[in-house]
Every structure is written in structure tokens, then in C-alpha cells.
Chains A and B, each alone.
Chain A
Amino acid sequence: QKEVEQDPGPLSVPEGAIVSLNCTYSNSAFQYFMWYRQYSRKGPELLMYTYSSGNKEDGRFTAQVDKSSKYISLFIRDSQPSDSATYLCAVDRGSTLGRLYFGRGTQLTVWP
């Protein structure tokens, strides 16, 4: 079993829709939860970062972590065509910087 499972999609929504992206992870030792956004032919860039359980909001983006069910989510409100990208979740135990485990990524297209 992979450390992180993520449905690769693709996901296609109209502009203005609410988007929900999800991942599950296997090891309860993970403490740091991240969402990276990757535009076509570019490297991933950090979008959201959450420590332990709870919600974190940044503009139109909300990251949610439920450690009891090992489930992490990213919500995008009022989605825009510029949000079209691949979204990767990542988890980290916190014991060693950089040992991130990534999901395969979900490809999102927001059409006008």
C-alpha cells in the first residue's frame, strides 16, 4: 500500500464551482499535510500547509485534515480557469525534513 492515495481524475468543472480534492494516507505518524499545485510543464509549488488536524483557509482555498480517518481535503471556492492544474497532496512524519510522500496528483480543469 502506498503511503498516500489520491484519485488522479481528471476532474472538469465550470467556472465558479466548488472543487473538492481528497487524499487518504496510511500511517498515523504523519503530522504535516501539504497541497502542491503543478501547472503544465512546471514544477510543483506549495499551495497550502497544515500541521496536525483541523482546517486552514487562504483566500478561496481551504485545507482540511481529519487524522482520525486519515483523510485530507482541499476545497477551492469560486473556481477560476487559472486554477486548472494538477494538485498533489503530500504528507510528512516530521522527523526528517524533506521526506515527503506524494499522492499521484489530481488533474483539474476549470472551463469558462
Chain B
Amino acid sequence: DAGVIQSPRHEVTEMGQEVTLRCKPISGHDYLFWYRQTMMRGLELLIYFNNNVPIDDSGMPEDRFSAKMPNASFSTLKIQPSEPRDSAVYFCASSFALARSNSGNTIYFGEGSWLTVV
């Protein structure tokens, strides 16, 4: 399996521009997560989907951020307009819901999209 695939890996954009980050989860996974990682705040959950439906978007910082999952194999995170404080690494992750047990569940992360807003 190719794992979670994110694009672009790196993006440098000017303040005010629209940024779209893309994610292809692992085939068969029914949960998809968007995280943001910064030195100051660490790894933060922005939003997650179950079966393509947004379940919890309480981590989305403000209305400039939006996320969609039109089908089971694709999701986007959009920032419009972008600001310098949005500079961070954005991770997409996916998981398959299993019955809870001591063996646990695993969330698989992509390699991240490194965003710089200047």
C-alpha cells in the first residue's frame, strides 16, 4: 500500500492567496484527519471525517479554513485568504475503525505539506 499521499509537499505562497492541500487516504480507511504542526503549538487536530462526513471541525482555527471530502479517496484543506501565521506543516492521516481492544487502533500519517506564507 502506498500509504497516505499528500500534495503538494512544499508550498510557498504570498499572503492573501488561496492555498489548497490535497490528501488521498489509505484505501479502505473510513476515517480521515487533518492536523497542523508548529513548533509553538505542536500537533493539533483541525478536523476529521468519518465515511466522508465531517464529524468534528472544532479545531479549525477560523472561517478562512475549510475542508471537504467529496469521496472516500480524496480530501482537500483550503485556506483563503492565507496569512503568514498559517505557515506550518499540515498532515493528513487516515484510519480504519476497529472494535476497541487492547491491541488498539492505528492512525497513519502522510508525510505532510510544508506551507510557508510570506
Contacts and interface: CB of A to CB of B under 8 A. Distances in A.
A44 B56 contact: no
Given A42-B111, A102-B43, A97 B31 contact: yes
Given A49-B104, A51-B104, A97-B95, A44 B43 contact: yes
Contact of A98 (B4, B31, B41, B104): B31
Interface string A28-51: 000010100000011111100101
Interface string A1-22: 0000010000000000000000
Interface of chain A: mostly helix, strand, loop or mixed: loop
A105 B45 CA distance: 15
A59 to B, nearest CB: 17
Interface in B67-118: 91, 93, 95, 97, 100-112, 114
A103 B93 contact: no
Given A43-B110, A44-B109, A32 B104 contact: yes
Max count, chain B CB within 10 A of own CB: residue among A41, A88, A94, A97: A97
Interface residues of B, number: 30
Given A43-B93, A43-B111, A97-B97, A88 B106 contact: no
Interface residues of A, number: 22
Contacts, number: 58
A93 to B, nearest CB: 11
Given A43-B91, A43-B93, A94-B100, A100 B42 contact: no
B106 A46 contact: yes
B102 A51 contact: yes
A104 interface: yes
Nearest to A103: B42
A99 B105 CA distance: 12
B99 to A, nearest CB: 10
A98 B95 contact: yes
Nearest to A2: B42
Given A43-B91, A97-B31, A97-B95, A88 B43 contact: yes
Interface of A: 6, 32, 34, 41-46, 49, 51, 88, 94, 96-100, 102-105
